């Protein structure tokens, strides 16, 4: 068994496995990774077929650029989203698989036996794969090469038109923002200074921990509204209870009186922010 054949058998098997993964994985991100498997293995087969430059381009362009773009978009739309496999048209899947088997039969029938008896190989034509390809690309295919640049212009324009959220109003300057703050203070009494920091406890110091006011109440403006929206705000009183118990265990003393936890109510944060807008 020649090395070329070995490469083909191994990589071909992996490529088919990857393609099957694309069909059967429920999550889009798994499908993308199995497509990456297919592409890497195809690159190896290209290398075995005397297409060294193409093998490199396959890895760089497909696996490096195209699949990364796919992954970006998958992250954008939510990585753990599962797709439903409910069929809208009953029997569609069966029909599709039957059609696929039929097409495969047609293609196998077409390919088998109709091949040139002996592969010519590319030793003669290659003479340095890169140079020979360059001669073709800048020779008889130069028009295609130039014309494809139209696609390279269309694609970014399309992406910018459909996906770039251009600023619709002028950006507020520092001065305007300061004036608006003072205006809000003058009219509605909103505190014009910086908002309080998030809190630090013995166990946690993330921005999800609200700061405590001197009386032990939670400072509602110390956590970002984004945290409130996502229900990510840490219940500090529960945490402080935990800390106190830990201290007691370590020192063997009776735990100090715990300030009674209040219900976490962060609604008024929103109101403050509304006033600031």
Site for other proteins in 190-249 (CB under 8 A): none
262 near 237, Cβ under 8 Å? yes
Q: At what angle do helices 28-48 and 67-77 cross, to 10 degrees?
A: 180
Alpha-carbon dihedral 217, 220, 224, 230, rounded to 10 degrees: 90
Distances (CA, A) of 99 to 65, 95, 96, 106: 32, 6, 5, 11
Q: Is 143 in the site for other proteins (CB under 8 A)?
A: yes
Q: How many chain residues interact with other proteins (CB under 8 A)?
A: 108
Stretch that binds other proteins, among 71-79, 215-223, 233-241, 253-261 (CB under 8 A): 71-79
Site for other proteins in 172-201 (CB under 8 A): none
Query: What's the min distance (Å) between Cβ of 98 and other proteins?
Result: 10
Q: Is the dihedral of CA 64, 69, 72, 74 positive or negative?
A: negative
Site for other proteins in 14-33 (CB under 8 A): 15-16, 19-20, 22-23, 28, 31-32
Which CB atom, from 147 or from 260, has the smaller least distance to other proteins?
147
Query: What's the min distance (Å) between Cβ of 269 and other proteins?
Result: 22
Stretch that binds other proteins, among 43-51, 178-186, 199-207, 223-231 (CB under 8 A): 43-51
Q: Is 79 in the site for other proteins (CB under 8 A)?
A: no
Q: Is 148 in the site for other proteins (CB under 8 A)?
A: yes
Figure out which of the listed residues 80, 91, 166, 263 binds other proteins, where binding follows CB under 8 A: 166
**Separation between Cα atoms, residue 77 and residue 83, nearest integer Å:** 12
Figure out which of the listed residues 80, 90, 91, 153 binds other proteins, where binding follows CB under 8 A: 153
Q: Is 157 in the site for other proteins (CB under 8 A)?
A: yes
Q: Is 274 in the site for other proteins (CB under 8 A)?
A: no
Query: What's the min distance (Å) between Cβ of 123 and other proteins?
Result: 8
Site for other proteins in 82-111 (CB under 8 A): 83-86, 88, 92-93, 96-97, 99-101, 103-104, 106-111
18 near 62, Cβ under 8 Å? no
Helix extents (H) in the chain: 3-24, 28-48, 52-57, 67-77, 92-111, 123-126, 129-137, 142-163, 174-188, 225-229, 236-251, 267-276
Q: Is 154 in the site for other proteins (CB under 8 A)?
A: yes
Q: Is 73 in the site for other proteins (CB under 8 A)?
A: yes
Q: Is 10 in the site for other proteins (CB under 8 A)?
A: no
247 near 255, Cβ under 8 Å? yes
Angle at 223 between CA 246 and CA 73, to 5 degrees: 110
Helix extents (H) in 189-234: 225-229
Q: Is 165 in the site for other proteins (CB under 8 A)?
A: yes
């Amino acid at each position: 068994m020649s090395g070329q054949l070995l490469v083909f058998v191994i990589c071909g098997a992996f490529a088919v496995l990857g393609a099957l993964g694309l069909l059967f994985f429920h999550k889009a991100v798994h499908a993308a990774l199995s497509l990456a498997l297919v592409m890497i293995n195809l690159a190896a087969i290209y290398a075995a077929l005397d297409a060294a430059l193409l093998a490199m381009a396959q890895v760089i362009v497909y696996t490096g650029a195209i699949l990364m773009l796919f992954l970006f978009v998958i992250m954008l739309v939510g990585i753990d989203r599962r797709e439903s496999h409910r069929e809208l048209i009953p029997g569609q899947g069966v029909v599709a698989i039957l059609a696929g088997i039929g097409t495969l039969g047609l293609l196998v029938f077409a390919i088998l036996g109709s091949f040139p008896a002996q592969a010519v190989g590319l030793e003669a034509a290659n003479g340095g794969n890169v140079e020979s390809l360059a001669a073709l690309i800048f020779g008889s295919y130069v028009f295609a090469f130039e014309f494809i640049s139209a696609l390279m212009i269309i694609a970014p324009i399309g992406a910018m038109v459909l996906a770039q959220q251009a600023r619709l109003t002028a950006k507020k300057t520092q001065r305007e923002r300061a004036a608006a703050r003072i205006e809000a203070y003058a009219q509605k009494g909103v505190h014009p200074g910086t908002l309080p920091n998030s809190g630090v406890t013995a166990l946690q110091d993330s921005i999800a921990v609200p700061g405590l006011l001197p009386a032990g109440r939670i400072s509602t403006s110390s956590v970002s509204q984004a945290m409130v929206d996502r229900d990510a705000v840490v219940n500090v009183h529960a945490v402080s209870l935990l800390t106190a118990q830990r201290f007691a265990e370590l020192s063997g003393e009776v735990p100090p009186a715990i300030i009674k936890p209040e219900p976490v109510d962060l609604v008024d944060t929103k109101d403050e922010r509304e006033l600031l807008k």
